[in-house]
A and B are shown apart, each in its own frame.
Chain A
Amino acid sequence: MKKFLLSFVFMFSVLMAGNINMDGFVRSYIGVLTNDSLDYSIVMNTFNLNLSKTGDKMGFKVNPYIYQYSGGNMELGLREAYLDIYFPSMDLRVGKQQIIWGKADGVFITDIVSPKDLTEFILRDFDEIRMGITALKSDYYIGNNTLELVWVPVFTPTKMPPATSIWHPKMPDFPAPATFDYTRSEVRHDLKNSEVFGKFSALTGLVDFEVMGAYTWEDEPTMHVIKHFNLSNPQHPVLDSITIYPEYHRLKVGGGSFSTTIGPFVLRGEGAYYNGKYFNTTRPDAPESVVKKDYVHYLVGMDFSVKGWNTSLQFIERAILDYTDDIEQEQYSNMATFLIAKNFLYETLHISLFTYYDFTDKGSLVRPKISYDIADGVEGIVGANIFTGSEGIFGQYNDNDMVYLKLKYSF
């Protein structure tokens, strides 16, 4: 801890000496479960600092943060720490950085460069869900067209909540005692395990679009299952136990997105083809109970305004190709999102409602929020996260309905 504090003192000294831009926020956040327990779902204080400088030929940014939880637990980290080098038609960015692609809101289809921090499921602000990754990124510009190439030398998976967390995904009912073995879950840090991403994007008066490709890793591991049978009676083997090996696999992804205006509407679309994903299967002869299939994931969305209420709708579908009934996931999974928001009192009072609805498992996440600007840069927020359903991505958290209060000071 002392080292971190000294680091901050050092950074402030540099800041004072180097005419460096500084901004950030301090936030206090408390959430209460609305079930009978009335437990706190979160008590958290945050200090987030952005130090940056942009010159004619170079720039940099460092984004240290501290999360301090109830009980004294503390998380300190660098969300971003990179250098920029500017050329007449090209920029290079080297270091830890968040890279965000695509036109979808709150849905990850072509947006697969930066992994996610799901410590608090998807409830954090988007810039806090995104994890910075060490990468070399080059952007080559031709007018408003950009060719972006990204090399990620070290794979970083999605950060999942610990098993003790209320946000840890529910485990399925195993047919026998299960043991997790993580010996196969490491992706070695070497050149052949690096990731590459490429994107061409254009911004025009008619339409904005992106075309992307990636040779990457799946961000969440496939669960390989080895079954152990009691063969004391060879005629009737009995399943004794299972061992689950989480393991990451390579993925090849190609996709694109677009956004255009039609009268008062903004129409958006995004889709990707994923090659080489493993799915769990009940097929007895499938090695380790997995089977390799391709799938597509796509979205259409529309933004519009009705009497000052900004509204957004998105429909999302994921479809497994060459599907067989033994695959444990549904062939098609469908979801929708809905956002409505409006500002009042000279834009000091903001009201919004954002909802995910999972058609496949009939669950939802409903997120009403009211925020008030107490003064310039000082914001008080009251909101709720309401889960419905009994299974699936949202229904599994049905006992985690919560209300929360945040006070945030931006400087």
Chain B
Amino acid sequence: MRYKTAMLMGILITATGLMAQQKLTGLEVMEKVYNRPKGNDMEATLTMILINSNGDKRVRKIKQYIRDFGKVEKKIMFFVEPADVKNTSFMNWSYDDPNKDDDQWIYLPALKKVKRISSDSKGDYFMGSDFTYDDLGNRKPEEDNHKILREEKYRGEDCYVIESTPKDPDYMYSKTITWVIKGKWIGLKREFYDEDGEYLKTLNVKKYEKINGVWVLTEVEMDNAQTNHKTIMKLSDIKINSGIPARMFTERMMKRGL
């Protein structure tokens, strides 16, 4: 199990930002999705339900805090379920400087120490789910070439349909296609195609709501067509701009836990 996340909040939060309906490029649309304002801080409970092809369910629950400190964004996650990872915590510092990698630490209660880990595995799957760290919003728009395929209504929303192909030919996806809601800049649906160009999986935003002036995606679902495995992510107990203190993002809190 990997205990790190990426910019989960990055994909789960969006802003109202009503933009002028001007002619945009594919890159500009994806930058608007990536750069949505998220508020200064956020606290939430994340529940992941993993469902395999037999319909068997596994549940992961995490309490997480995130705060923007200007040049660095800090996150801390406390694992609540399942029982064998309870009291594990994970901390990530993500820097504005594009040349600086994230710093990440994990606290394993069995080892009773905070351990620095490498952040160089954005293609890994998050906690056994169908989401990679990149899928959770960590992938920067400039890492792909973007093209607007068309504009169409999807689930009642006016959307751009964007095809993104990686600049790195060895990347795990050959392309993705994203339905982005105009004005809200929410990626409402995204299809993923594997390295061989075969359809792999689809991300669907099931619910989103505005909390304290910020759009938050409160339920998303990833369906893997090749493995018939599915992951449902739900956010609850959400607080935006509640003033999370800086001391929350320290080794002390990783060890102390909730």
Q: B120 to A263, Cβ gap below 8 A?
A: yes
Instruction: Please report the total number of B residues contacting A with Cβ < 8 Å.
Output: 46
Interface of A is mostly: strand
Smallest Cβ-Cβ distance to A24: which chain B residue:
B83
Q: Which residue among B58, B95, B109, B229 has the maximum number of chain A CB atoms within 10 Å of its CB?
A: B58
What per-residue 1/0 map shows which CB atoms of B64-106 lie under 8 Å from chain A?
0000000010000000011110110000010100001101010
Q: B125 to A347, Cβ gap below 8 A?
A: yes
Given contacts A261-B103, A305-B118, contact A98 B84 (CB under 8 A): no
Q: B128 to A125, Cβ gap below 8 A?
A: no
Smallest Cβ-Cβ distance to B82: which chain A residue:
A376
Q: A203 to B114, Cβ gap below 8 A?
A: yes
Q: A54 to B258, Cβ gap below 8 A?
A: yes
Q: Which of A203, A373, A377 meets B105, CB within 8 Å?
A: A203
Q: A346 to B251, Cβ gap below 8 A?
A: no
Q: Which residue among A100, A266, A376 has the maximum number of chain B CB atoms within 10 Å of its CB?
A: A376
**Across the interface, which residues of A come within 8 angstroms of B87, CB to CB?**
23
Q: A348 to B105, Cβ gap below 8 A?
A: no
Q: A347 to B128, Cβ gap below 8 A?
A: yes
Instruction: Report the minimal beta-carbon distance from A322 to chain B, rounded to whole angstroms.
Output: 33
Q: B110 to A265, Cβ gap below 8 A?
A: no
Instruction: Report the minimal beta-carbon distance from A142 to chain B, rounded to whole angstroms.
Output: 10
Q: A410 to B129, Cβ gap below 8 A?
A: no
Interface residues of A in 44-71 (CB under 8 A from B): 54, 59
Q: Which of A23, A139, A260 meets B83, CB within 8 Å?
A: A23
Interface residues of A in 105-152 (CB under 8 A from B): 125-127, 130, 139, 141, 143-144, 146
Instruction: Please report the total number of A residues contacting B with Cβ < 8 Å.
Output: 48
Q: B129 to A346, Cβ gap below 8 A?
A: yes
Instruction: Report the minimal beta-carbon distance from B96 to chain A, rounded to whole angstroms.
Output: 12
Interface residues of B in 113-170 (CB under 8 A from A): 113-121, 124-125, 127-130
Given contacts A127-B112, A347-B127, contact A376 B118 (CB under 8 A): no
Q: A305 to B121, Cβ gap below 8 A?
A: yes
Q: B86 to A347, Cβ gap below 8 A?
A: no
A224 CA to B66 CA in the complex, in Å? Answer: 58
Q: Which of B95, B100, B118, B252 meets A139, CB within 8 Å?
A: B252
Q: Which of A54, A346, A408 meets B52, CB within 8 Å?
A: A346
**Across the interface, which residues of A come within 8 angstroms of B118, CB to CB?**
261, 264-266, 303-305
Q: Is B59 an interface residue (CB 8 A)?
A: yes
Apart from A100-B112, A263-B120, 7 more pairs, CB < 8 Å:
A144-B251, A203-B250, A205-B95, A205-B100, A377-B82, A410-B83, A410-B86
Question: Can you name 25 A-B residue pairings with CB atoms under 8 Å?
Answer: A23-B83, A23-B86, A25-B83, A25-B84, A98-B112, A103-B115, A126-B110, A127-B110, A127-B111, A141-B250, A144-B251, A203-B250, A205-B100, A205-B103, A261-B118, A263-B101, A266-B116, A266-B118, A305-B120, A308-B124, A347-B1, A347-B127, A347-B128, A410-B82, A410-B86
- Measured CB to CB, the residues of B under 8 A from A are 1-2, 50, 52, 58-59, 72, 81-84, 86-87, 93, 95, 100-101, 103, 105, 109-121, 124-125, 127-130, 229, 247, 250-252, 256-258
